[in-house]
Structure 1
Amino acid sequence: MQITFLGTSSGVPTRARNVSSVALRLPQRAELWLFDCGEGTQHQILRSDLKVSQLSRIFITHMHGDHIFGLMGLLASCGLAGNVDRVDIYGPAGLNEYLQACSRYSHTHFSYPVKVHAVRPGVVYEDEEFSVICGQLNHRVTAYGYRIVEKDRVGRFDVEKAKELEIPPGRIYGQLKRGETVTLNDGRIINGSDLCGPTEIGRKIAYCTDTVFCDGAVELAQDADVLIHEATFAHQDSDMAFQRLHSTTTMAAQTALAASTHRLIMTHFSPRYAPGNTIELKDLLLEARAIFPNTDMAHDFMTYEVPRRRKSEKLKVVSAEKKY
């Protein structure tokens, strides 16, 4: 599971940062999922190593322009290129009407199936490998965060040990790989878990933007391997953050701390903290790390490979006093 940040600015693009979009690449199934699709996202994809032909799902948090203005252009380009099989889009009520209006007035018709799913809190997508949970955030309009959960997998099957035990290959190997208990023809009872390595714990990613600090974000981020959280404002500008229902760096860090998250990656930064200003982005990073040390600051085209954890591994939680 590889995360690529395609846009890390809030509200408007800058020379160095485009508006919101995050890509999740699932190489084991040759799929690409997008979370938000701000204006210019398709250009960002072209400038990256991602393959738009693998695009299969798009998850939208809310209907503000810096999160959806790139959606219609991306879908139209995919249709003209003819290299996308189907796209499922998940988002708030009104998203389908928005796309229908764009299609009607621009006379755009897709050459591939596009299905829009109106989401509500709970599971919005699930298959044999993944589930995606939606949760309510606290913003000026209806806004949702998403939690992507990879299901646990049985550890690596030890073929050499099975041969040493003279277990005949075939259907039995499949049963043992799944951790089942099998009775052999000679009467021996073999527990499949004894032949498999440690269970591979499914990875968890939380994506929370736009929102002020809220319980919904903490719930989505619980025990996550990585939390992607907006940090529009510096702590000094917390009054503005509460007025606009956006997060400060300290709110993002407190969310990660309260949720026992393993790593926090902040995004969605206000252009007001450009180099040369009184407060710069480097100062925002220091603020967050004072509360949650395992914090990084995203930039456009930054990639992050989500690591696996073994069953015996636990997350390290750093205690810190609440500072806002």
Structure 2
Amino acid sequence: MQDNAPPPERPDTGTVADAYSRNWVDLYAPAATRPYLRLSRADRPIGTWLLLIPCWWGLALAMLYDGRASWFDLWIFSGCAIGAFLMRGAGCTWNDISDRDIDAQVARTRSRPIPSGQVSVKGAVIWMIVQALVSFAILLTFNAAAIRLGILALIPVAIYPFAKRFTWWPQVFLGLAFNWGALLAWTAHTGRLDAPAVVLYLAGIAWTLFYDTIYAHQDTEDDALIGVKSTARLFGENTAQWLRRFLMATVGLMGIAVVYAALPNAPVLALAVAVCGPWAMGWHMAWQLRGLDIHNTDKMLQLFRVNRDTGIIPLLFFAAALVL
């Protein structure tokens, strides 16, 4: 997942600057589809993982909460994966449509499909609608409460691209959007929204503040020149201290969510195993802090990408708790 070496020669000149070297889009996708797949960030899968993982957290804790599982949960698991890929693509397309003028002024983003001229705004709008409609079709297979939540998710998604224009905390809006799946998957399983899911959602937002502040440090110089706000610019040299606070909030809130979810029906051993998940996640976040160098953009990208593993760690503990 990490890639520190200079990228090898790539087979397509339209490659986006911060894409994984020799990614499947550049190597194998038909040429006509590459600009649209790049627009959806298919060449940069970390965002899909970061959107999907809270969904799986929510599903696992919901199953722990009511002590039941069904074949439909396998569809929730799979449907969330497909939906995360599509909705991340639709959201990124909307983000790039909204930010096309800003992206053209930032070194890391000017190679994206719209500012580089690979995709027209009209083509991007059509592509966004197609992805959203397929996602909506998946959503319709869930219960009515989950469908309503899925529709409400469009609000933070729509606001996020503009947040950096009016607040120093746009990462909060990203967290609201990216962790909505914790609420959705919980509700898809239980048929209602319960308190543990809300606390888990808050834990996810704290985690997003952690990893996206790291990510935003890649663009602080360009952002300052064009007047774009971010927590990275706000915190500056105090970033490490703030990240520690987000770490503690993530672990603490997730721990509360786990205890609250497990107490009604889970065995004591399952509760003990599940509680270890946030603890282990916190150690992985602490490991990232030891390597933090806000002036090294390559290092910031590397640390951002390892957050896929950060999020999977508690999921493994939740899965173990379910089989006890």
Q: How does the TM-score come out when normalised to structure 1? A: 0.30
User: Higher helix fraction: Structure 1 or Structure 2?
Assistant: 2
More strand by share: 1
Tell me the TM-score normalised to structure 2 length: 0.30
